[in-house]
Amino acid sequence: MAPRTIPFPSEPAARARLRAQDAHHLALNAEDGTLHLLRSGFLVAGVAGLCAFLTLFVLGGIGPDGPPTNLGWITLMVALMSMPFGLILLLLGGAKWLRNAWLSRAAPTRQ
């Protein structure tokens, strides 16, 4: 049995048309997770910022031995754990958003 081959056009114009069609399809994919990544990133980074604010200004600040209260320690731990994760989510969501914007500009409009 012969191996199955996928036909691919050899002329450059046909390859460019296929790439443009694929880019248009990818750019218009509404379920790629970009919005979820951005929402989650803003939410997690916002919670981290709120916890850091509470630790520094409401719950006694941070002294040489750390926060003076148990609640201060908890909010400090939440802030320090969620800030890197929230920023990573924001970076990934922003990169996907920029990619989708680039693909939608690169793809020709269909009529």
> Residues 16-70: pLDDT tens digits?
666 656 555 555 555 788 999 999 999 999 999 999 999 999 998 999 999 999 9
User: In the structure, what pLDDT confidence band is assigned to residue 83 with cuts at 50, 70 and 90?
Assistant: very high
Q: How far is it, in rounded angstroms, from Cα 63 to Cα 47?
A: 22
User: What pLDDT score does 8 carry?
Assistant: 59
State residue 71 phi and psi, 5-degree precision: -65, -35
The CA-CA-CA angle for residues 63, 44, 37, to 5°, reads 150
Question: Average per-residue pLDDT in the chain?
Answer: 82
Share of the chain above pLDDT 70, in %: 68
User: What pLDDT score does 9 carry?
Assistant: 58
User: What pLDDT score does 88 carry?
Assistant: 97
Does pTM surpass 0.75?
no
Q: Is the pLDDT of residue 108 over 70?
A: no
User: What pLDDT score does 101 carry?
Assistant: 86
Domain ranges, ordered by start, for the chain: 33-106
The owner of tokens 């994919």 is: 29
Say whether 67 sits in a helix, a strand or coil. coil
